[in-house]
Amino acid sequence: MNSIEIKKTLMEKGEICDPCLGRQITLRHQGISNGLIGAALRKAETEPEIDKIIEEQPEPEIKSDCYLCEGLLTELPEMHSKLMEETEKWEFSNFLVGTKVPGGIAENEEKIWTEITPEDAETIKRQINRETGKKLEEKTGTEAEFEDPDITFILNFKENKIETQIKSIYIYGRYKKLERGIPQTKWPCTHCEGSGCEECDNTGQQFPYTVQGIMEKPLLEMTKAEESKFHGQGREDRDALMLGNGRPFVLEAVNPVKRRIDLDKFHQKIKENSEGKIEVSELEYSDKDKVVELKSKRSDKTYEVWVKAKQEVSKDDLNKIQEEFEDREIEQRTPTRVNHRRADKTRKRNVKVIETEKVNDNEFKAKVRAEAGAYIKELVSGDYGRTRPSFAEIMKNSLETKKLNVVKVHGSDDD
C-alpha cells in the first residue's frame, strides 16, 4: 500500500494523532520524527507531496482521543520529566530505555497491521524508546548501550512511574585471612534470622566479622549500594587461615548509586576496617563473566595441617603417609560436621602429601596438595570411616587436626 492509502485506512477508523499516523510509514522517511511525518501525511494528497510538506515543518498534533495510542502520547512529556528527575539520582556512563504500555495499545497496533502493510512501521514502544533515548543523550551526555548498559530506565505507563534496573559493580581481587574464626561470607543470626536481636548484638549476623563484612562496609559507603554479594573461588574453613598469594574473589555492589570509586582509597578503607584480620590485593574492576569463571574453576589447593595423635608418632609413620599419599585417589563421604547442610554423597578426590615434619612425640605437620572439594580435616581423621584411606587409617592411630592453613590456591598455569 502507498502512504496515501494507508492514511485513508487509518483515518476512516476514527481520531488518530500525528505520531501514530506517521509511525506507520516511518521507515520511508528515516531521520524524521513520527509526529512530523504524520502531520505532513495528514495534509498530503499524493505521495510526492509528503516530503514537500515535511520541509514546511508543520506542527504535529497529539490527540487524547487517538484510537491507536489511546492518548498515551499525551502523557509522554510528564513521563520525560519524571525520567530526568530519576537520572539525577544515579551515576552512569551509558543507558538503555524500555517502555511498558497497557495491553490494549499493543492489541490496537496488531489489529491495524492486519489491514495495512506494516513493513515500514514501528511499534509505539520502539518510538518512545528511540525518542526518549535521544533526549537522554542530550540531557546527560551519555550514550545508549543495547548490550550491557549501566542502567536501564523503564517508562511504565501502566503504573505512571519510572522503573530502574541498575547493573552491579564487580571488583576482583585476592584476599588473605590472617585470623581464625572468621567465615568468608556473612551468616544471618540463627536466633533472629538476620533481623537483629540481643544474641547477635542487633547486627543480624551470626559472627561479628566475616571476610565479606569487612570489605562490605567501605564498599557500601563509597558506592551507596543496597548490599554486597561475595563470590570466592572456593572457601576455607572458618578456623583456617588463608595465606600465600591469597584467594581470588569478586565483590559485587548491588544497585550502586556511584559506579566509579577510587580503588586505592577502597583498598585503604578495607585495611583500616580490617584491623589486621584480612589483607586484600590486586583490586581491579571486573564483570559478571569473572564471577562465572571463578565459580567454574576447580583449582587445587595446598594446605599446611598440624596434627595431634593419641599415640606417639614415629618417623616411619610419616614416611608411610608420604608413600601412601604420593598421588592418591581417596573417597570421601560428606563429613559428619557438614552433613546437616550438604547432600550426603561420596566424592572421589586426588591428594598428594608433599612433605611431613615431626613437631614432637604426638604431633606432626604435613603439607598437602589436594583437588578442589577435598576435606582435609577428614583426610586426617578418617571421620569414622567416611574418608578412606586417611592418615589415621594408614598410621593406625587416632588423629585430629589442631590447625589448618591454606597456603596456595593454584591457577590453571600451575603444575
Cα–Cα dist 408/379, whole Å: 18
Cα–Cα dist 23/402, whole Å: 75
Q: Residue 313 sits in a domain of what CATH number?
A: 3.30.70.3190
Name the domain count of the chain.
3
Domain boundary pick from 166, 183, 212: 166
- Same domain membership, residue 153 and residue 33: yes
237: annotated active-site residue: yes
Choosing from 51, 65, 148, 237, the catalytic residue is 237
Residue 414 has a pLDDT of 47
Q: Is the pTM of this model over 0.75?
A: yes
Cα distance between the two ends of the chain? 70
Domain boundary pick from 278, 296, 314: 296
Residue 217 lies in a domain: yes
Residue 50 has a pLDDT of 96
Tens of pLDDT, residue by residue over 325-361, are 999 999 999 999 988 888 899 999 999 999 999 999 9
Domain boundary pick from 296, 326, 359: 296
- Same domain membership, residue 314 and residue 361: yes
Percent with pLDDT over 70 in the chain:
99
- Same domain membership, residue 18 and residue 73: yes
What residues make up the domain containing 202?
169-296
- Which of 284, 243, 104, 249 is closest to 174 using CA atoms? 249
- Same domain membership, residue 268 and residue 329: no
Tell whether the model's pLDDT for residue 199 goes beyond 90: no
Residue 201 has a pLDDT of 85
CA angle 368/184/328 to nearest 5° reads 20
- Same domain membership, residue 48 and residue 66: yes
Q: Residue 236 sits in a domain of what CATH number?
A: 3.30.70.2510
Return the sign of the alpha-carbon dihedral for residues 302, 234, 251, 150. positive
Tens of pLDDT, residue by residue over 117-159, are 889 999 999 999 999 999 999 999 999 999 999 999 999 999 9
- Same domain membership, residue 7 and residue 137: yes
Tell whether the model's pLDDT for residue 412 goes beyond 70: no
- Same domain membership, residue 402 and residue 371: yes
Residue 209 lies in a domain: yes
- Same domain membership, residue 210 and residue 142: no
- Same domain membership, residue 174 and residue 100: no
Cα–Cα dist 126/117, whole Å: 18
For residue 9, the one-letter residue type is T
User: Helix/strand/coil (H, E, C) string of the chain?
Assistant: CCHHHHHHHHHCCCCCCHHHHHHCCHHHCCCCCHHHHHHHHHHCCCHHHHHHHHHCCCCCCCCCCCCCCCCHHHHHHHHHHHHHHHHCCCCCCEEEEEEECCHHHHHHHHHHCCCCCHHHCCCHHHHHHHHHHHHHHHHHCCEECCCCCCEEEEEECCCCEEEEEECCEEEEEEEEECCCCCCCCCCECCCCCCCCCCCCCCCCECCCCCHHHHHHHHHHHHHCCCEEEEEECCCCCCCCEEEEEEEEEEEEEECCCCCCCCHHHHHHHHHHHHCCCEEEEEEEEECHHHHHHHHHCCCCEEEEEEEEECCCCCHHHHHHHHHHCCCEEEEEECCCCCCCCCCCCEEEEEEEEEEEEEEECCEEEEEEEECCCCCHHHHHHCCCCCEECCHHHHHCCCEEEEEEEEEEECCCCCC
